[in-house]
Amino acid sequence: MAEEKKEFWRWPEYRRTVPGKDWKGAQVITAGVDVGSVSSKTAIMVDGELYAYAIMRTGSSSAGSAEKVTNWALEGTGLTIKDIHYTVGTGYGRVNVPFAQRAITEIACHARGANFIWGPTVRTVLDMGGQDCKAIQCDSKGKVTNFLMNDKCAAGTGRGMEVFADLLNVPIEEVGPRSFEIDEEPEPVSSTCVVFAKTEAVGLLRAGWPTEKVLAAYTAAMAERVVDLLNRVGVEKDFVITGGISKNIGVVRRLEKRLGFQALPMKPEFDPMIAGSIGAALFAKALYEKGQ
Amino acid sequence: MIINYGYKDGSGEYFIVIDTARCNGCGACVTACPAGVLEMTTEFDPDTLEDMVIPHLTEEHAKKIKYSCAPCKPGQDMAGSSEAVVPPCVLACQPQAMTHSW
Amino acid sequence: MAVAGIDVGAKYAKAVILKDGQPEILSKGIAPCGFDLKEAVEAAFQQALSEAKLSRDEIKYVVATGASLEAVPFANDSVSMQGADARGAHFLFPSVRTVIDIGAEMGRAARCDATGKMVDFVINERCAAGAGAFLEAMARALEVKLEEMGPLSLEADKSPPMNAQCTIFAESEVVTLIHEGESKKNIIRALHDAIAERNISMVRRLGIEKDVALVGGLAKNAGFVDAMKRGLEMDILVPEEPLFVGALGAALIAAEKSAG
């Protein structure tokens, strides 16, 4: 049987309480729980400011994962789930967060979270996860104006990248840097189907291409593929990238070159993986206040 | 908000595009579709904080609309190809909220 | 006098040599396509020549078909794959009016008239999930030999639903199904049903007129043929050597062109 694959991007599971923040005296304490196919995230917000969060791998039960990650986010804070005024659940597919008052689609939460992390100038969010690719256009309030999500085809997803890295025997975190160890930028591999790209790559290697040049050709193909999807929803500055692919400079730089502008740098204090859960927690606050 | 349902793969782009600002939630498109590709669902509206009723692709068909929608699109990329035919779901939509990208 | 047809596919190069006049198949040749397609074409052609005990100069006319025509620089003419398929299938089964050709990387279907001339066609390409590459990748993921996939699918007792429509995602889904305890046979059956469904949708766009023939590499897979029959709800004609139908069609066209 084929072995268990390593993680696409080796991200650590962790929890964090934002220093200098406290919940005592708060008006509204909310939680956003984002259960994805690979990772689960919970953000705890106090009066609309990020207080604590946790990121962990999703287990076999999404309901169980939702509870686990939320409890972990609350660990050491003195709060329990019962103290949360309002919880919004989000994530892949029909999400099951049993203690949430409401479920909101991940696209809306992601855009809202990106707006919180990077500010009201963000207009385009690209999220490339392990098994899907999302292009989102939003306004200055973080409201979605146009989006698409592609989870049918592996080209343009972390999985598509991983399969290629495996073929070339390159650890995934080296793909980006090594794709620049070339004399001249080659033409991208012509197909946008990962299966055919693999066949092409084998041919190129046999023709004597060094691994780095093949990496360059594939990351370029991926960048082109992504630009296509972005153009469908419309790409404008400011542009941000979330998801595993944000760490692959091979794709990011080639993407920026094709767009003609750069993505905003990541904010160190806000792990981009929690954008969705932050958005959910902010919607939770608005819904709680509306209910009063 | 413009929603692009569907996908792009090696063989082309297949998107069913809904403009939620125009959609009135009538469900005529769902009824018009002979293949069961569409169903109504709710989507959160961050302005009103309410849910709006709009169509989306059923789980069964979401990842293969190239094939599911093919019977309503005869003659495309075929030898004697003429212009694109307007599929019944698009025709049924009075507010003109729906288009197909292929 | 003899003529030849050469079909350069994604996986194999095929050659058929015909005796002119009342066309009669003299020989065939086949070689796997490596990185150098011209080499594969030469190898297939030489194989057919030696089987027919002919030298190159005795071949009056060569027609090429397939995806990579530049690999046959010595061809006198070329014909589309769907045109070649229609002619070849019709020669073998004169009642054929619809030909379905599923190869390693693409699938196509053609309609022909009573003379075997192609009148309409549809192509399914550039997404591996509709072609042989899909089953090859799945065979690897399941650690089963490609030739065993067909027979195993026929031994299944049910077809579990599969969500993935992409070869790469299907590989992960297959692994998950195995972990959940699903049997390999049932999974293989589901895979065959899925790839048949994709191709049947393509053929339906063309419109189906009986009799229907299935050619190309996947016609050798009994499980796939069975899935196609069930999906189309009709019987399908399958030649003994489904891989050579394109080259045969090209050779028949070579015979016509060299005569007229």
**What pLDDT sits at residue A2?**
36
Q: Which SS3 state, helix, strand or coil, does residue C217 take? A: helix
Cβ-nearest to C175 among A2, A160, A196:
A2
What is the per-residue pLDDT across C57-66, written as a single tens digit (0 to 9) for each? Answer: 999 999 999 9
**Alpha helix (H) residue ranges in A179-267:** 194-206, 211-233, 249-259
Is there a single domain that holds both residue C33 and residue C117? no
Total domains in chain C come to 2
**What pLDDT sits at residue A117?**
96
Name the residue among B86, B83, B82, B79 with its Cα closest to residue B16.
B86
Q: Is residue C135 part of a domain?
A: yes
Is there a single domain that holds both residue C32 and residue C123? no
Q: Which of residues 12-51 of B touch A (CB under 8 A)?
A: 13, 15, 43-44, 46-47, 49
Q: Are strands B38-45 and B50-57 parallel, antiparallel or unpaired?
A: antiparallel
**What pLDDT sits at residue A10?**
58
**DSSP for chain C?**
-EEEEEEE-SSEEEEEEEETTTTEEEEEEEEE--S-HHHHHHHHHHHHHHHHT--GGGEEEEEEEES-GGG-TT-SEE--HHHHHHHHHHHH-TT--EEEEE-SS-EEEEEE-TTS-EEEEEEE-S-GGGSHHHHHHHHHHHT--HHHHHHHHHT-S--------SHHHHHHHHHHHHHTT--HHHHHHHHHHHHHHHHHHHHHHH---SSEEEESGGGG-HHHHHHHHHHHTS--B--SSGGGHHHHHHHHHHHHHHH-
The distance of Cα C133 from the centroid of its chain, to the nearest Å, equals: 12
CB atoms within 10 A of CB C16: 30
Amino acid at C62: V
Q: Is residue C237 part of a domain?
A: no
Is there a single domain that holds both residue C75 and residue C125? no
Which pTM value belongs to this model?
0.88
**What pLDDT sits at residue A177?**
94
User: Which DSSP letter does residue B63 get?
Assistant: T
Contact status, residue C66 vs residue C246, Cβ threshold 8 Å: yes
Cβ-nearest to B1 among A145, A228, A283:
A145
- Binary contact (C143, A1; C-beta < 8 A): yes
Q: Which residue has the tokens 């004609």?
A: C237
Choose, out of A193, A199, A206, A222, the residue to mutate when testing the contact with C (most C CBs < 10 Å).
A193
Q: Is residue C178 part of a domain?
A: yes
Q: Does C137 touch chain A (CB under 8 A)?
A: yes
What is the per-residue pLDDT across C134-143, written as a single tens digit (0 to 9) for each? Answer: 999 999 999 9
Residue B77 pLDDT level (bands cut at 50, 70, 90): low
Which domains does chain A show, CATH number per domain? 14-119+270-291 (3.30.420.40), 146-259 (3.30.420.40)
**What pLDDT sits at residue A8?**
46
Is there a single domain that holds both residue C32 and residue C76? yes
Mean pLDDT taken over chain C: 93
Chain C residues whose CB is inside 8 A of the A193 CB are 126-128
Q: Does A203 touch chain C (CB under 8 A)?
A: yes
**Tokens of residue C77, six digits:** 């003419």
Distance CA B46, CA A1 (A): 46
- Binary contact (C205, B73; C-beta < 8 A): yes
Is there a single domain that holds both residue C86 and residue C127? no
Is there a single domain that holds both residue C111 and residue C222? yes
Distance CA C229, CA C237 (A): 10
Q: Which residue has the tokens 């070649």?
A: C84
Q: Which SS3 state, helix, strand or coil, does residue C36 take? A: coil
What is the per-residue pLDDT across C183-241, written as a single tens digit (0 to 9) for each? Answer: 999 999 999 999 999 999 889 888 899 999 999 999 999 999 999 999 999 999 999 99
Is there a single domain that holds both residue C71 and residue C118? no
**What pLDDT sits at residue B75?**
62
Residue-wise over A133-169: b if at least 16 C-beta within 10 A, else e?
bbbbbbeeebebebbbbbbbbbbbbbbbbbbbbebbe
Distance set, CA A99 to CA A84, A90, A287, A290, C19 (Å): 10, 12, 15, 19, 78
Cβ-nearest to C205 among B63, B70, B80:
B70
> Residue A44 phi/psi, 5° resolution?
-105, 125
Q: Does A37 touch chain C (CB under 8 A)?
A: no
- Binary contact (A283, B44; C-beta < 8 A): yes
Cis geometry, peptide bond prior to residue C211 (ω within 30 degrees of 0): yes
Chain B residues whose CB is inside 8 A of the C162 CB are none
Nearest CA in chain A to C129: A195
Q: Does C123 touch chain B (CB under 8 A)?
A: yes
What is the per-residue pLDDT across C68-90, written as a single tens digit (0 to 9) for each? Answer: 888 999 999 999 999 999 999 99
- Binary contact (B63, A152; C-beta < 8 A): yes
Distance CA A191, CA A189 (A): 6
What CATH number does the domain containing C26 carry?
3.30.420.40
Name the residue among A280, A290, A256 with its Cα closest to residue A116.
A280
Is there a single domain that holds both residue C126 and residue C65? no
- CATH architecture assigned to B2-74+85-100: 2-Layer Sandwich (3.30)
Give chain A's residues under pLDDT 70.
1-11, 93-94, 191, 292
Euclidean distance between the first and the last CA atom of chain C, given in angstroms as a whole number: 14
Domain membership of residue C248 as a residue range: 2-93+243-259
CB-based contacts of A4: which residues, under 8 Å, 6+ apart? none
**CB–CB contacts below 8 A, B to C:** 50
Q: Does A38 touch chain C (CB under 8 A)?
A: no
Choose, out of B11, B13, B14, B49, the residue to mutate when testing the contact with A (most A CBs < 10 Å).
B49
> Residue A97 phi/psi, 5° resolution?
-115, 95
What is the per-residue pLDDT across B12-56, written as a single tens digit (0 to 9) for each? Answer: 899 999 999 999 999 999 999 999 999 999 888 888 888 899 999
What is the per-residue pLDDT across B48-73, written as a single tens digit (0 to 9) for each? Answer: 888 899 999 999 999 999 999 988 88
Name the residue among C216, C222, C234 with its Cα closest to residue C84.
C216
Is there a single domain that holds both residue C6 and residue C89? yes
Q: Is residue C206 part of a domain?
A: yes
Sign of the C-alpha dihedral, residues C66, C68, C69, C72? negative
Q: Is residue C238 part of a domain?
A: no
Contact status, residue C101 vs residue C32, Cβ threshold 8 Å: no
Euclidean distance between the first and the last CA atom of chain A, given in angstroms as a whole number: 56
Chain A residues whose CB is inside 8 A of the B5 CB are 148
Q: Is residue C101 part of a domain?
A: no
Chain A residues whose CB is inside 8 A of the C168 CB are 154, 159-160, 163, 194-195
**What pLDDT sits at residue A6?**
46
Q: Which SS3 state, helix, strand or coil, does residue C109 take? A: strand
**What pLDDT sits at residue A5?**
44
Is there a single domain that holds both residue C77 and residue C131? no
Q: Is residue C25 part of a domain?
A: yes
Is there a single domain that holds both residue C112 and residue C228? yes
Chain A residues whose CB is inside 8 A of the C143 CB are 1-2
ipTM value, please give it: 0.90
Is there a single domain that holds both residue C135 and residue C87? no
**Domain ranges (residues) in chain B:** 2-74+85-100
Cβ-nearest to C165 among B64, B74, B78:
B64
Residue B84 pLDDT level (bands cut at 50, 70, 90): low
